[in-house]
Structure 1
Amino acid sequence: MLLADGIHAVITDRHGGISAEPYTSRNLGGAVGDDFDAVLRNRHDTAVELGVDPARVVMMRQVHGRDVRFVTEPFGDDPPPLDAIYTTEPGLALNVLVADCAPVLLADPVARVVGAAHSGRPGTQLGVVPALVEAMATRGAEPYQMVALIGPAACGLCYEVPAEMREDVARVVPEAWATTRQGTPAVDIRAAIEAQLHKANITDIRHDARCTIETPDLFSYRRDSRTGRFGGFIWLDGG
Protein backbone atom coordinates (compact mmCIF):
# COMPACT_ATOMS: atom_id res chain seq x y z
CA MET A 1 0.00 0.00 0.00
CA LEU A 2 1.01 3.63 -0.39
CA LEU A 3 1.07 5.19 3.07
CA ALA A 4 1.67 8.56 1.42
CA ASP A 5 3.04 9.86 -1.86
CA GLY A 6 6.24 7.94 -2.55
CA ILE A 7 6.01 5.97 0.73
CA HIS A 8 5.31 2.23 0.72
CA ALA A 9 4.11 0.34 3.81
CA VAL A 10 3.26 -3.35 4.06
CA ILE A 11 2.12 -5.69 6.83
CA THR A 12 2.80 -9.34 6.01
CA ASP A 13 0.85 -12.34 7.30
CA ARG A 14 1.76 -15.95 7.96
CA HIS A 15 0.90 -17.26 4.47
CA GLY A 16 3.16 -17.82 1.48
CA GLY A 17 6.44 -19.02 2.98
CA ILE A 18 8.12 -22.39 3.39
CA SER A 19 8.39 -22.83 7.18
CA ALA A 20 6.97 -26.03 8.67
CA GLU A 21 4.58 -26.30 11.61
CA PRO A 22 4.19 -24.58 14.01
CA TYR A 23 5.72 -21.68 12.06
CA THR A 24 3.64 -22.22 8.94
CA SER A 25 4.50 -20.66 6.69
CA ARG A 26 5.90 -17.13 6.16
CA ASN A 27 7.82 -16.87 9.42
CA LEU A 28 10.31 -13.97 9.28
CA GLY A 29 11.64 -14.35 12.83
CA GLY A 30 15.09 -15.87 13.19
CA ALA A 31 15.12 -16.38 16.96
CA VAL A 32 11.98 -18.45 17.52
CA GLY A 33 13.27 -21.98 16.88
CA ASP A 34 12.43 -22.24 13.18
CA ASP A 35 14.86 -23.71 10.64
CA PHE A 36 17.04 -20.71 9.83
CA ASP A 37 17.46 -21.61 6.17
CA ALA A 38 13.68 -21.49 5.84
CA VAL A 39 13.60 -18.11 7.57
CA LEU A 40 16.26 -16.73 5.21
CA ARG A 41 14.30 -18.00 2.22
CA ASN A 42 11.11 -16.45 3.58
CA ARG A 43 12.86 -13.10 4.07
CA HIS A 44 14.38 -13.16 0.60
CA ASP A 45 11.15 -14.14 -1.14
CA THR A 46 9.11 -11.60 0.82
CA ALA A 47 11.43 -8.77 -0.21
CA VAL A 48 11.26 -9.88 -3.86
CA GLU A 49 7.44 -10.00 -3.71
CA LEU A 50 7.40 -6.48 -2.30
CA GLY A 51 9.69 -5.23 -5.06
CA VAL A 52 12.48 -4.52 -2.57
CA ASP A 53 16.13 -5.53 -2.95
CA PRO A 54 16.61 -8.36 -0.37
CA ALA A 55 20.09 -6.98 0.32
CA ARG A 56 18.58 -3.62 1.32
CA VAL A 57 16.26 -4.68 4.15
CA VAL A 58 17.20 -3.37 7.61
CA MET A 59 16.36 -5.67 10.51
CA MET A 60 16.86 -5.06 14.23
CA ARG A 61 17.59 -7.21 17.26
CA GLN A 62 14.49 -6.14 19.15
CA VAL A 63 14.79 -5.98 22.93
CA HIS A 64 11.64 -4.14 24.12
CA GLY A 65 13.53 -0.90 24.71
CA ARG A 66 13.38 2.65 23.34
CA ASP A 67 16.72 3.01 21.53
CA VAL A 68 16.52 4.51 18.04
CA ARG A 69 19.11 4.47 15.25
CA PHE A 70 19.44 6.34 11.95
CA VAL A 71 20.34 3.86 9.23
CA THR A 72 21.75 4.14 5.71
CA GLU A 73 22.34 0.42 5.11
CA PRO A 74 21.49 -2.96 6.66
CA PHE A 75 23.34 -4.04 9.81
CA GLY A 76 24.37 -7.44 8.46
CA ASP A 77 24.33 -10.70 10.40
CA ASP A 78 24.63 -9.14 13.87
CA PRO A 79 22.16 -6.27 14.23
CA PRO A 80 22.43 -4.15 17.38
CA PRO A 81 19.77 -4.19 20.12
CA LEU A 82 17.23 -1.62 18.91
CA ASP A 83 13.50 -1.13 18.74
CA ALA A 84 13.25 1.73 16.25
CA ILE A 85 15.07 2.76 13.07
CA TYR A 86 14.66 5.54 10.54
CA THR A 87 16.17 6.59 7.23
CA THR A 88 16.19 9.07 4.36
CA GLU A 89 17.67 6.54 1.91
CA PRO A 90 15.39 5.69 -1.06
CA GLY A 91 14.81 1.98 -1.54
CA LEU A 92 16.10 1.03 1.93
CA ALA A 93 13.32 -1.05 3.51
CA LEU A 94 12.92 -0.87 7.28
CA ASN A 95 11.53 -3.98 8.96
CA VAL A 96 9.95 -4.65 12.35
CA LEU A 97 8.96 -8.15 13.51
CA VAL A 98 5.99 -8.83 15.77
CA ALA A 99 3.61 -11.46 17.10
CA ASP A 100 1.37 -9.42 19.49
CA CYS A 101 3.42 -6.22 19.86
CA ALA A 102 2.52 -3.37 17.51
CA PRO A 103 4.55 -2.54 14.42
CA VAL A 104 4.43 1.25 14.06
CA LEU A 105 5.39 2.75 10.70
CA LEU A 106 5.96 6.52 10.38
CA ALA A 107 6.59 8.77 7.40
CA ASP A 108 7.03 12.41 6.53
CA PRO A 109 6.44 12.45 2.76
CA VAL A 110 7.56 16.07 2.48
CA ALA A 111 10.87 15.72 4.31
CA ARG A 112 11.26 12.19 2.90
CA VAL A 113 11.97 10.50 6.21
CA VAL A 114 10.53 7.11 7.22
CA GLY A 115 10.76 5.10 10.42
CA ALA A 116 9.69 1.84 12.01
CA ALA A 117 9.21 0.94 15.67
CA HIS A 118 8.54 -2.23 17.66
CA SER A 119 6.15 -1.15 20.40
CA GLY A 120 4.85 -3.82 22.74
CA ARG A 121 3.83 -3.24 26.33
CA PRO A 122 7.38 -2.50 27.61
CA GLY A 123 8.33 -0.35 24.63
CA THR A 124 5.07 1.58 24.79
CA GLN A 125 5.58 2.21 28.49
CA LEU A 126 9.16 3.38 27.79
CA GLY A 127 8.01 5.60 24.90
CA VAL A 128 9.77 4.08 21.90
CA VAL A 129 7.34 5.66 19.43
CA PRO A 130 7.73 9.21 20.81
CA ALA A 131 11.49 8.62 20.79
CA LEU A 132 11.30 7.72 17.10
CA VAL A 133 9.25 10.83 16.32
CA GLU A 134 11.82 13.00 18.08
CA ALA A 135 14.69 11.31 16.26
CA MET A 136 13.05 11.72 12.86
CA ALA A 137 12.66 15.43 13.58
CA THR A 138 16.46 15.73 13.68
CA ARG A 139 16.42 14.84 9.97
CA GLY A 140 13.80 17.42 9.09
CA ALA A 141 10.57 15.51 9.73
CA GLU A 142 7.70 17.61 11.06
CA PRO A 143 5.06 15.84 13.17
CA TYR A 144 2.21 17.80 11.57
CA GLN A 145 3.30 16.41 8.17
CA MET A 146 3.74 12.84 9.36
CA VAL A 147 1.57 9.84 8.65
CA ALA A 148 1.48 6.89 11.05
CA LEU A 149 0.31 3.32 10.64
CA ILE A 150 -0.25 1.23 13.76
CA GLY A 151 -0.26 -2.39 12.64
CA PRO A 152 -1.95 -5.46 14.11
CA ALA A 153 -1.41 -6.14 17.80
CA ALA A 154 -3.01 -7.88 20.76
CA CYS A 155 -6.16 -5.87 21.46
CA GLY A 156 -7.26 -4.45 24.77
CA LEU A 157 -10.12 -6.94 25.02
CA CYS A 158 -7.66 -9.87 24.83
CA TYR A 159 -4.35 -8.65 26.30
CA GLU A 160 -4.81 -9.79 29.90
CA VAL A 161 -2.15 -8.72 32.42
CA PRO A 162 -1.83 -8.65 36.23
CA ALA A 163 -3.58 -5.69 37.86
CA GLU A 164 -0.26 -4.25 39.05
CA MET A 165 1.12 -4.29 35.51
CA ARG A 166 -1.93 -2.49 34.15
CA GLU A 167 -1.49 0.16 36.84
CA ASP A 168 2.22 0.56 36.03
CA VAL A 169 1.58 1.11 32.32
CA ALA A 170 -1.43 3.36 32.87
CA ARG A 171 0.58 5.61 35.19
CA VAL A 172 2.71 6.48 32.17
CA VAL A 173 0.03 6.27 29.45
CA PRO A 174 -3.47 6.41 30.98
CA GLU A 175 -5.06 5.39 27.69
CA ALA A 176 -3.50 1.92 28.08
CA TRP A 177 -5.95 1.01 30.87
CA ALA A 178 -8.28 -1.73 29.61
CA THR A 179 -10.44 -4.64 30.67
CA THR A 180 -10.84 -7.96 28.88
CA ARG A 181 -14.16 -9.42 27.78
CA GLN A 182 -13.97 -11.56 30.91
CA GLY A 183 -13.66 -8.48 33.12
CA THR A 184 -9.99 -9.01 34.00
CA PRO A 185 -7.20 -6.38 33.87
CA ALA A 186 -5.75 -5.68 30.42
CA VAL A 187 -3.53 -3.29 28.51
CA ASP A 188 -4.59 -1.59 25.26
CA ILE A 189 -1.28 -0.87 23.53
CA ARG A 190 -3.01 0.44 20.40
CA ALA A 191 -4.89 3.11 22.34
CA ALA A 192 -1.69 3.98 24.22
CA ILE A 193 0.36 4.37 21.03
CA GLU A 194 -2.36 6.44 19.39
CA ALA A 195 -2.39 8.74 22.43
CA GLN A 196 1.40 9.08 22.26
CA LEU A 197 1.20 9.99 18.57
CA HIS A 198 -1.49 12.61 19.22
CA LYS A 199 0.63 14.06 22.04
CA ALA A 200 3.52 14.29 19.56
CA ASN A 201 1.22 16.35 17.27
CA ILE A 202 0.69 13.62 14.67
CA THR A 203 -2.93 13.62 13.58
CA ASP A 204 -2.90 11.43 10.44
CA ILE A 205 -3.00 8.04 12.14
CA ARG A 206 -4.02 4.93 10.22
CA HIS A 207 -4.79 1.50 11.69
CA ASP A 208 -4.60 -2.12 10.72
CA ALA A 209 -6.78 -2.87 13.70
CA ARG A 210 -6.69 -6.66 13.55
CA CYS A 211 -6.10 -8.35 16.89
CA THR A 212 -3.25 -10.85 16.56
CA ILE A 213 -4.74 -13.14 19.20
CA GLU A 214 -8.06 -13.29 17.34
CA THR A 215 -6.67 -13.50 13.79
CA PRO A 216 -5.43 -16.94 12.65
CA ASP A 217 -3.77 -15.36 9.59
CA LEU A 218 -1.29 -13.63 11.92
CA PHE A 219 1.26 -15.03 14.33
CA SER A 220 0.45 -14.58 18.02
CA TYR A 221 2.79 -15.52 20.84
CA ARG A 222 0.02 -15.12 23.42
CA ARG A 223 -2.25 -17.47 21.51
CA ASP A 224 0.25 -20.12 20.41
CA SER A 225 3.44 -19.61 22.47
CA ARG A 226 5.72 -21.43 19.99
CA THR A 227 5.13 -19.50 16.79
CA GLY A 228 6.64 -17.26 14.14
CA ARG A 229 6.81 -13.53 13.48
CA PHE A 230 5.18 -11.43 10.79
CA GLY A 231 6.61 -8.13 9.64
CA GLY A 232 5.92 -4.47 9.01
CA PHE A 233 7.92 -2.86 6.20
CA ILE A 234 8.28 0.77 5.14
CA TRP A 235 10.43 2.35 2.44
CA LEU A 236 10.83 5.36 0.22
CA ASP A 237 10.43 5.13 -3.54
CA GLY A 238 13.63 5.00 -5.56
CA GLY A 239 17.05 3.68 -4.82
Structure 2
Amino acid sequence: MISLTLDKARISRATLLRLISAVGSAAVFGMLTASLTPAAYWPSAFALAFIYGFFFVGGTGYRILIAVAFQDTSRKASASWSGATTATALAALTASLLIAQQESALLVIAAYAAAINFAYIPVKFACLEAGCCQAQRRDPFLIRGHDLRRVEIAASVAVLSVALTMIWIGAFDVAAILGVGGHLAIRLLSRWSRNRLPGSGLEDEIKGQELLPLALLLAVAIWMTAVLQS
Protein backbone atom coordinates (compact mmCIF):
# COMPACT_ATOMS: atom_id res chain seq x y z
CA MET A 1 0.00 0.00 0.00
CA ILE A 2 2.84 2.36 0.88
CA SER A 3 4.65 1.43 -2.32
CA LEU A 4 1.51 2.08 -4.36
CA THR A 5 1.03 5.45 -2.69
CA LEU A 6 4.62 6.43 -3.37
CA ASP A 7 4.31 5.34 -6.99
CA LYS A 8 1.21 7.47 -7.42
CA ALA A 9 2.96 10.43 -5.81
CA ARG A 10 5.96 10.00 -8.09
CA ILE A 11 3.78 9.85 -11.19
CA SER A 12 1.88 12.90 -9.99
CA ARG A 13 5.08 14.89 -9.50
CA ALA A 14 6.39 13.90 -12.92
CA THR A 15 3.12 14.93 -14.54
CA LEU A 16 3.15 18.24 -12.69
CA LEU A 17 6.71 18.92 -13.83
CA ARG A 18 5.78 18.25 -17.45
CA LEU A 19 2.82 20.60 -17.08
CA ILE A 20 5.13 23.28 -15.69
CA SER A 21 7.38 22.71 -18.69
CA ALA A 22 4.58 23.33 -21.19
CA VAL A 23 2.87 26.23 -19.43
CA GLY A 24 6.08 27.86 -18.25
CA SER A 25 7.82 27.79 -21.62
CA ALA A 26 4.71 29.18 -23.32
CA ALA A 27 4.64 32.01 -20.78
CA VAL A 28 8.33 32.75 -21.38
CA PHE A 29 7.82 32.93 -25.13
CA GLY A 30 4.70 35.07 -24.85
CA MET A 31 6.23 37.60 -22.48
CA LEU A 32 9.44 37.93 -24.48
CA THR A 33 7.71 38.46 -27.83
CA ALA A 34 4.67 40.51 -26.76
CA SER A 35 6.49 43.78 -27.49
CA LEU A 36 6.54 42.91 -31.20
CA THR A 37 2.80 43.44 -31.56
CA PRO A 38 1.02 46.83 -31.62
CA ALA A 39 -1.60 45.61 -29.14
CA ALA A 40 -1.46 45.88 -25.35
CA TYR A 41 1.34 43.90 -23.72
CA TRP A 42 -0.51 41.34 -21.59
CA PRO A 43 -3.20 40.39 -24.14
CA SER A 44 -0.43 39.99 -26.71
CA ALA A 45 1.67 37.92 -24.32
CA PHE A 46 -1.29 35.66 -23.57
CA ALA A 47 -2.14 35.22 -27.27
CA LEU A 48 1.44 34.44 -28.26
CA ALA A 49 1.82 32.06 -25.33
CA PHE A 50 -1.34 30.28 -26.44
CA ILE A 51 -0.01 29.91 -29.99
CA TYR A 52 3.30 28.55 -28.71
CA GLY A 53 1.47 26.22 -26.36
CA PHE A 54 -0.70 24.94 -29.20
CA PHE A 55 2.36 23.79 -31.13
CA PHE A 56 4.08 22.51 -27.99
CA VAL A 57 1.16 20.38 -26.84
CA GLY A 58 0.31 19.30 -30.39
CA GLY A 59 3.88 18.20 -31.00
CA THR A 60 4.03 16.42 -27.66
CA GLY A 61 0.93 14.39 -28.39
CA TYR A 62 1.44 13.58 -32.05
CA ARG A 63 2.20 9.92 -31.33
CA ILE A 64 -1.01 9.61 -29.34
CA LEU A 65 -3.03 11.31 -32.08
CA ILE A 66 -1.60 8.98 -34.73
CA ALA A 67 -2.31 5.90 -32.64
CA VAL A 68 -5.90 7.03 -32.05
CA ALA A 69 -6.43 8.00 -35.70
CA PHE A 70 -5.21 4.63 -36.98
CA GLN A 71 -6.70 2.71 -34.04
CA ASP A 72 -3.48 0.74 -33.93
CA THR A 73 -2.57 -0.53 -30.47
CA SER A 74 0.86 -1.60 -31.70
CA ARG A 75 1.92 1.99 -32.32
CA LYS A 76 4.00 3.67 -29.63
CA ALA A 77 1.64 6.21 -28.08
CA SER A 78 3.76 7.92 -25.43
CA ALA A 79 4.12 11.69 -25.22
CA SER A 80 7.05 13.00 -27.25
CA TRP A 81 9.43 15.72 -26.08
CA SER A 82 11.09 15.58 -29.50
CA GLY A 83 7.73 16.24 -31.11
CA ALA A 84 7.20 19.31 -28.93
CA THR A 85 10.64 20.65 -29.83
CA THR A 86 10.12 19.93 -33.52
CA ALA A 87 6.71 21.57 -33.75
CA THR A 88 7.70 24.70 -31.85
CA ALA A 89 11.01 25.03 -33.71
CA LEU A 90 9.25 24.82 -37.07
CA ALA A 91 6.69 27.40 -35.91
CA ALA A 92 9.45 29.76 -34.74
CA LEU A 93 11.36 29.19 -37.98
CA THR A 94 8.31 30.02 -40.08
CA ALA A 95 7.50 33.11 -38.03
CA SER A 96 11.06 34.42 -38.21
CA LEU A 97 11.12 34.07 -41.99
CA LEU A 98 7.79 35.87 -42.36
CA ILE A 99 8.79 38.87 -40.25
CA ALA A 100 10.18 41.67 -42.38
CA GLN A 101 12.48 43.23 -39.78
CA GLN A 102 15.37 40.90 -39.07
CA GLU A 103 15.98 42.27 -35.59
CA SER A 104 12.40 41.39 -34.66
CA ALA A 105 12.83 37.99 -36.29
CA LEU A 106 15.94 37.40 -34.20
CA LEU A 107 13.95 38.28 -31.08
CA VAL A 108 11.44 35.57 -32.01
CA ILE A 109 14.26 33.04 -32.36
CA ALA A 110 15.88 34.23 -29.13
CA ALA A 111 12.56 33.99 -27.29
CA TYR A 112 12.07 30.49 -28.64
CA ALA A 113 15.57 29.56 -27.48
CA ALA A 114 14.82 30.82 -23.97
CA ALA A 115 11.45 29.06 -23.91
CA ILE A 116 12.70 25.67 -25.10
CA ASN A 117 15.66 25.70 -22.72
CA PHE A 118 13.31 26.62 -19.88
CA ALA A 119 10.99 23.78 -20.87
CA TYR A 120 13.80 21.24 -20.82
CA ILE A 121 14.62 21.83 -17.15
CA PRO A 122 11.37 20.55 -15.54
CA VAL A 123 11.19 17.83 -18.20
CA LYS A 124 14.53 16.46 -17.03
CA PHE A 125 13.44 16.70 -13.40
CA ALA A 126 10.41 14.66 -14.46
CA CYS A 127 12.80 12.11 -15.97
CA LEU A 128 14.58 11.90 -12.62
CA GLU A 129 11.23 11.28 -10.93
CA ALA A 130 10.22 8.64 -13.47
CA GLY A 131 13.66 7.02 -13.57
CA CYS A 132 13.96 7.24 -17.36
CA CYS A 133 16.33 8.73 -19.96
CA GLN A 134 19.56 7.57 -18.35
CA ALA A 135 22.86 7.45 -20.22
CA GLN A 136 23.88 4.25 -21.98
CA ARG A 137 27.37 5.53 -22.73
CA ARG A 138 29.47 8.37 -21.33
CA ASP A 139 31.95 10.84 -22.73
CA PRO A 140 35.16 11.55 -20.78
CA PHE A 141 34.60 15.31 -20.54
CA LEU A 142 31.01 16.30 -19.66
CA ILE A 143 29.10 13.31 -18.34
CA ARG A 144 31.88 11.12 -16.97
CA GLY A 145 30.47 9.69 -13.74
CA HIS A 146 27.62 12.19 -13.48
CA ASP A 147 23.94 11.57 -14.04
CA LEU A 148 23.15 12.55 -17.64
CA ARG A 149 19.86 14.15 -16.64
CA ARG A 150 21.54 16.39 -14.07
CA VAL A 151 24.14 17.38 -16.65
CA GLU A 152 21.33 18.33 -19.03
CA ILE A 153 19.61 20.37 -16.32
CA ALA A 154 22.79 22.26 -15.45
CA ALA A 155 23.59 22.90 -19.11
CA SER A 156 20.05 24.11 -19.81
CA VAL A 157 20.17 26.50 -16.84
CA ALA A 158 23.46 27.90 -18.14
CA VAL A 159 22.18 28.34 -21.71
CA LEU A 160 18.90 29.85 -20.47
CA SER A 161 20.76 32.32 -18.26
CA VAL A 162 22.96 33.46 -21.13
CA ALA A 163 20.02 33.77 -23.52
CA LEU A 164 17.94 35.82 -21.08
CA THR A 165 20.90 38.06 -20.27
CA MET A 166 21.54 38.73 -23.95
CA ILE A 167 17.85 39.47 -24.55
CA TRP A 168 17.87 41.84 -21.57
CA ILE A 169 20.73 43.88 -23.02
CA GLY A 170 19.23 43.83 -26.51
CA ALA A 171 21.71 41.43 -28.10
CA PHE A 172 19.01 39.36 -29.79
CA ASP A 173 21.43 37.90 -32.32
CA VAL A 174 23.75 36.52 -29.65
CA ALA A 175 20.80 35.22 -27.64
CA ALA A 176 19.36 33.47 -30.69
CA ILE A 177 22.62 31.85 -31.77
CA LEU A 178 23.81 30.78 -28.32
CA GLY A 179 20.33 29.79 -27.15
CA VAL A 180 19.42 27.60 -30.11
CA GLY A 181 22.97 26.34 -30.58
CA GLY A 182 23.25 25.49 -26.91
CA HIS A 183 20.02 23.53 -26.88
CA LEU A 184 20.99 21.71 -30.06
CA ALA A 185 24.29 20.72 -28.43
CA ILE A 186 22.44 19.47 -25.35
CA ARG A 187 20.08 17.42 -27.50
CA LEU A 188 22.98 15.92 -29.45
CA LEU A 189 24.76 14.98 -26.23
CA SER A 190 21.58 13.47 -24.84
CA ARG A 191 20.86 11.43 -27.95
CA TRP A 192 24.44 10.24 -28.29
CA SER A 193 24.57 9.23 -24.63
CA ARG A 194 21.28 7.33 -24.84
CA ASN A 195 22.11 5.77 -28.23
CA ARG A 196 19.17 7.52 -29.85
CA LEU A 197 20.77 9.42 -32.70
CA PRO A 198 19.21 8.90 -36.15
CA GLY A 199 20.25 5.52 -37.48
CA SER A 200 21.05 4.02 -34.09
CA GLY A 201 19.09 1.80 -31.73
CA LEU A 202 15.76 0.29 -32.72
CA GLU A 203 14.97 0.73 -36.41
CA ASP A 204 11.20 0.97 -35.92
CA GLU A 205 11.48 4.29 -34.08
CA ILE A 206 11.79 7.78 -35.51
CA LYS A 207 14.68 9.39 -33.67
CA GLY A 208 16.21 12.83 -33.76
CA GLN A 209 13.38 14.57 -35.61
CA GLU A 210 14.04 17.74 -33.60
CA LEU A 211 17.68 18.03 -34.69
CA LEU A 212 17.06 19.27 -38.23
CA PRO A 213 14.55 22.02 -37.28
CA LEU A 214 16.91 23.22 -34.55
CA ALA A 215 19.83 23.22 -37.00
CA LEU A 216 17.77 25.16 -39.56
CA LEU A 217 16.72 27.67 -36.91
CA LEU A 218 20.36 28.11 -35.89
CA ALA A 219 21.39 28.59 -39.52
CA VAL A 220 18.71 31.25 -40.02
CA ALA A 221 19.84 33.06 -36.87
CA ILE A 222 23.45 33.07 -38.08
CA TRP A 223 22.39 34.25 -41.55
CA MET A 224 20.26 37.09 -40.18
CA THR A 225 23.05 38.15 -37.85
CA ALA A 226 25.50 38.24 -40.75
CA VAL A 227 23.09 40.33 -42.83
CA LEU A 228 22.56 42.83 -40.00
CA GLN A 229 26.28 43.22 -39.43
CA SER A 230 27.19 43.56 -43.10
Question: TM-score scaled to structure 1, two decimals?
Answer: 0.28
Higher helix share: 2
Question: TM-score scaled to structure 2, two decimals?
Answer: 0.29
If you compute each CA radius of gyration, which structure gives the higher value, 1 or 2? 2
Q: Which has the higher contact order (CA 8 A, sep 6+)?
A: 1
